[in-house]
Chains A and B, each alone.
Chain A
Amino acid sequence: DAGVTQSPTHLIKTRGQQVTLRCSPKSGHDTVSWYQQALGQGPQFIFQYYEEEERQRGNFPDRFSGHQFPNYSSELNVNALLLGDSALYLCASSPIRLAGGQETQYFGPGTRLLVL
């Protein structure tokens, strides 16, 4: 089992550019969440995708958007990059939802984005 995978591992962009980050969930997982982790801080929830739709969103501007594909993989897009967008972007996947069940989230290694 490959676990949660993310690409690329590192990325350097300049202000105003756009970036796309990719995530493949753990086998058997259908829900993908994205988090932003600034240096020295805990991860902050961006949004969650399930059944190819955004189900929940954190306090992030519309510059942050996403997509989930039929194979459950997901993309995070950030437009008009700002210096403050420099962070580690983490993808987490959860198992298939069960009635009354609990879902634990498993994280990928992250994509480190630097905006110059």
Chain B
Amino acid sequence: QKEVEQDPGPLSVPEGAIVSLNCTYSNSAFQYFMWYRQYSRKGPELLMYTYSSGNKEDGRFTAQVDKSSKYISLFIRDSQPSDSATYLCAMSLYNNDMRFGAGTRLTVKP
């Protein structure tokens, strides 16, 4: 079993849809949870950063962490074609050694 599981997709949605991306993990000691967006042939770009459980909202993006279920989610409201990218979840103990999911490839169609 991988330490971080993420459905690789691909996921295709129409413009304006709500997108739900998810990851599960096995190490209950993880404290920091991140979502990165990676465009083709680029480095990952930090989208959301959460410490411990709870929700965090930033514009069209909402991150949720449920430590009891070892489950994290990223919601994208009013999705745009420019949101088309690979989304990576990441988590760590002390925010040093980040463990990444495999990434979910998202396409938002106009």
Q: Which residues of A contact B (CB under 8 A)?
A: 4, 33, 35, 40-45, 48, 55-56, 58, 90, 94, 102-110, 112
Does the CB pair A108–B43 fall under 8 Å?
yes
Residues of chain B within 8 A (CB-CB) of A107 are 36, 43-46
Residues of chain B within 8 A (CB-CB) of A33 are 96, 98
Q: Which residues of B contact A (CB under 8 A)?
A: 4, 6, 8, 32, 34, 36, 41-46, 49, 51, 88, 90, 95-103
Assembly CA distance A44 to B41 (angstroms): 17
Residues of chain B within 8 A (CB-CB) of A41 are 102-103
Least CB distance, A97 to chain B, in whole angstroms: 10
Does the CB pair A102–B51 fall under 8 Å?
yes
Least CB distance, B87 to chain A, in whole angstroms: 10
**Once A and B bind, how many residue pairs between them come within 8 Å at the CB atom?**
59
Least CB distance, A99 to chain B, in whole angstroms: 14
Contact of B43 (CB < 8 Å), options: A45, A55, A109: A109
Can you offer 14 A-B residue contacts whose CB atoms are under 8 A?
A: A33-B96, A40-B102, A45-B97, A55-B96, A56-B96, A90-B43, A102-B49, A103-B95, A104-B49, A106-B46, A107-B36, A107-B43, A107-B46, A110-B42
Query: Which of B32, B49, B98 has the largest count of A CB atoms less than 10 A from its CB?
Result: B98
Least CB distance, A30 to chain B, in whole angstroms: 13
Least CB distance, A11 to chain B, in whole angstroms: 14
With A94-B95, A105-B98 already in contact, 7 other A-B pairs whose C-beta atoms are closer than 8 Å: A42-B88, A42-B102, A45-B98, A103-B95, A104-B49, A104-B95, A107-B43
